[in-house]
Chains A and B, each alone.
Chain A
Amino acid sequence: MPDPRFKILTSASTSGPGDAGRTGSWRVERPIIDYSKCTPAKTGRHTCHLCWLYCPDSTVSKDLEPQIDLEYCKGCSICAEECPTGAISMVSEEEFTGGDKDE
């Protein structure tokens, strides 16, 4: 039991998102999903979900219509590369300036 007179400052971190801030600001391009090509969206059944599997930052949801968390998506484009039906395309962030994009 530590003595209560001692503060014992040490480096002990608690967990939460955004240690690097809004990593969505790292993006140069953002993934856009064409649900007409996306297999789970098209079939209404949970299948494929490779974009969800391979996302390094867990910013793709496992919904039938997968959603991208733009707050943290770094724009690596692995989802677009791995999508077997080519449902994901990468679009320049400039197209969205003035919308969601932070500086």
Chain B
Amino acid sequence: MSSIAKTNVINLTEEEFVHPGNRACTGCGLSILYRIGMKALGRDCIFVVPPSCLTVLQGLYPISATQMPVLNCTFASTAAVATGVRAAMKRRGKKTQVVAWAGDGGTADIGIQALSGALERNEDIIYICYDNEAYMNTGVQRSGTTPRRGLTTTTPYSGKKENSKNVPEIVAAHNPAYIATCSASYPLDFHDKLLKAKEISGLKYIHIQTPCPPGWGIEEHKTVAIGRMAVESGLFDLYEIENGKKQLTGQSSKQLKKKSLRPVGDYINLQTRYNAYDEEHVIALQAMIDRKWEKYRKEFSQE
């Protein structure tokens, strides 16, 4: 049974670690998770950031929006550069947290080689993949995590033909110290998982679904709501894997008791990136989710 100390809105620290007036889009999901995540990490950190939306949020030289030191790196090398920073911290006897923040492209596509290497070496870093499900920084091109039939500029009209990569499962095959999935719409769950990750040695991988208004085709004020729908419908699940054992957390864990979840159609129909979805596709997706949750109810019923 996990024992994450529960942070709530009231006891969450007021201290801010990222400056306003930065270049993130209006209503950016990354902004929310980044801001709250840093409250868990604290100032004794070094961040490693590849080209991504976060690069832009960071700011353009000579102004940085982040109050911690940030090392920008080339696209494919996030986990490798973080490895190097960690090695230097070890040499200098410092306990400074080394945290890599990469997008889905920088993790699942171009960054996967370095990530796999760092996983295999069990590097003592926190690796956070903020997954907005496409290359958003360059204007919404399909990535390995873009969902099937998702519309992007490189998968127009009928959408992406392929299924998305299940990155947490790929990571899990490496048996790292800790894996967690989170959502920008449940920032406190993310916050507490980071607190937990800080106390663990080895590679901690956190995958966080990040709603993106321009990329997903939603109105800016719906960012948090849409992420909630993804979890409430059971399409995206909040879980942890520790010592090879998986368990649902937060809202996903609460849903185990429910006989039926929110219809995934609520989630799909709100986003123009799913305009290539016909009724039959929604039905098929719903069926897939239903099957998954049948399994969950059996698997996790003893918890």
Consider the complex of A and B and state whether they touch directly, i.e. have CB atoms less than 8 Å apart.
yes
Return the CB mask of A11-53 against B: 1 if under 8 Å, else 0.
1111111111111001000000000000000000011111011
B32 / chain A contacts, CB cutoff of 8 Å: 54-56, 78
Interface size class of B (residues with CB under 8 A): 35 or more
A21 / chain B contacts, CB cutoff of 8 Å: 21
Q: How far is the CA of A54 from the CA of B36 in the complex (A)?
A: 9
State whether the Cβ of A76 lies closer than 8 Å to any Cβ in chain B: yes
Which residue on chain B has the smallest CB distance to residue A74? Answer: B26
B222 / chain A contacts, CB cutoff of 8 Å: 81
A77 / chain B contacts, CB cutoff of 8 Å: 27, 220-221
A22 / chain B contacts, CB cutoff of 8 Å: 21
State whether the Cβ of B67 lies closer than 8 Å to any Cβ in chain A: yes
A55 / chain B contacts, CB cutoff of 8 Å: 32
Chain B: minimal CB distance from A77 (Å): 4
Interface size class of A (residues with CB under 8 A): 35 or more
Answer whether A72 and B20 are a contact pair too, CB < 8 Å, given A56-B35, A80-B221.
yes
Q: Is the interface of A mostly helix, strand, loop or mixed?
A: loop
B16 / chain A contacts, CB cutoff of 8 Å: 58
Q: How far is the CA of A77 from the CA of B218 in the complex (A)?
A: 13
Answer whether A15 and B21 are a contact pair too, CB < 8 Å, given A56-B31, A58-B35, A76-B223.
no
CB-contacts of B8-48 with A (<8 A): 9-10, 12, 14, 16, 18-24, 26-29, 31-32, 35-36
Pairwise interchain contact B63-A14, C-beta atoms closer than 8 A: yes
Which residues on B are within 8 Å of A, measured CB to CB? 9-10, 12, 14, 16, 18-24, 26-29, 31-32, 35-36, 58-67, 187-188, 220-225
* Extra A-B contacts (15), CB below 8 Å, given A13-B63, A56-B223, A58-B20: A12-B61, A13-B58, A15-B19, A16-B19, A23-B20, A23-B21, A48-B9, A49-B9, A55-B32, A56-B24, A57-B24, A69-B20, A72-B20, A75-B26, A76-B223
